[in-house]
Amino acid sequence: MADPDFSLSEFERGQELSVYIQELGQAQPDFALLLGEAAISPELAERFRASDVRYAALITETWCIDSLHAVPLLVRLQEAVPELEVRVWQRSTDPALMLRIASEPPGSAPPAVPHIAFRDAAFRDLGHFRERPDSLTAHLEEESRHFRTRLRMQERDRVRSETLAGLLSAASRSD
């Protein structure tokens, strides 16, 4: 039985992926490069087929860097698995619908983007991809920490000056 919170007819009202990628390409100059590099192997396409995925509902925003990396893979996946239908929504368009697509209770925070809800041929919920894999988040956070450390050393005169100003400001406050 299909999930009553998000229907096939609502899915069909979403923007087609081919239309969305034109918008994304205008908003994100790196999209063409990432699309050109994206590939789905026949083996991976077969694994998606075997999972019985038939529908993918993508919640995104054109400014989202994580979406910029996920969307080319969805394009290639749809090419490799032509029976897969992908529809797109901007997260900001209809917050209540976005929560239903994301299977989140009313009143929850808006879903992180990209959020991809996979459904089977009977429109049953198969699973959700949220933002990025935890392993990638951990890697990016560690690399960011290293980058910030190197940047602070490169910009140490500014860091020292602004830190000193902040210390003086904190010591001079009277509440």
Residue 12: inside a domain: yes
Contact between 54 and 83 (Cβ < 8 Å): yes
126-165: pLDDT as tens digits: 999 887 666 665 666 787 787 888 888 899 999 888 988 8
Q: Which residues contact 117 (CB under 8 A, 6 or more apart)?
A: 6, 56, 57, 59, 101, 102, 103, 125, 128
Helix (H) or strand (E) holding 15: strand 15-16
Residue 77 vs residue 110, higher pLDDT = 77
Give the DSSP letter string of 124-149. Answer: -EEEEEESS-HHHHHHHHHHHHHHHH
Question: 3-class DSSP state for residue 27?
Answer: helix
Same domain, 41 and 13: yes
Q: Please give the average per-residue pLDDT across 36-64, as a whole number.
A: 94
Q: How far apart are CA 112 and CA 61, in angstroms?
A: 10
3 domain residue, yes or no: no
Domain match, 162 and 128 both:
no
| Residue 128, domain member (yes or no) | yes
| 103 inside domain | yes
64 and 111, same domain (yes or no): yes
What is d(CA 117, CA 58) in angstroms, rounded to the nearest whole number? 7
Residue-number span of the structural domain to which 76 is assigned = 8-132
Could you report the per-residue pLDDT of 15-28, keeping only the tens digit for each? 999 999 988 878 89
Question: What CATH number is given to the structural domain containing 110?
Answer: 3.40.30.10
Q: Tell me if 1 is assigned to some domain.
A: no
87 three-state secondary structure:
strand
- The SS3 assignment for 38 reads coil
At 135 the pLDDT is 67
Residues 39, 123 within the same domain: yes
DSSP β-ladder status, 53-60 and 115-120: antiparallel
98/15 same-domain check: yes
18 with 57, same domain: the answer is yes
- Whether residue 2 is contained in a domain is answered as no
**Bigger pLDDT: 122 or 163?**
122
Asked if residue 47 and residue 114 are part of one domain, the reply reads: yes
- Is residue 78 within 8 A of residue 113, CB to CB? The reply is no
How many domains, in total, are found in the chain? 2
Q: In 3-state terms, what secondary structure has residue 72?
A: helix
In a domain, 121, yes or no: yes
78-81: long-range contacts, CB 8 A cutoff, minimum separation 24: 78/17, 79/40, 80/40, 80/42, 80/44, 80/45, 80/48, 81/45, 81/48, 81/49, 81/53
Same domain as 145, residue 124:
no
pLDDT number for residue 132: 65
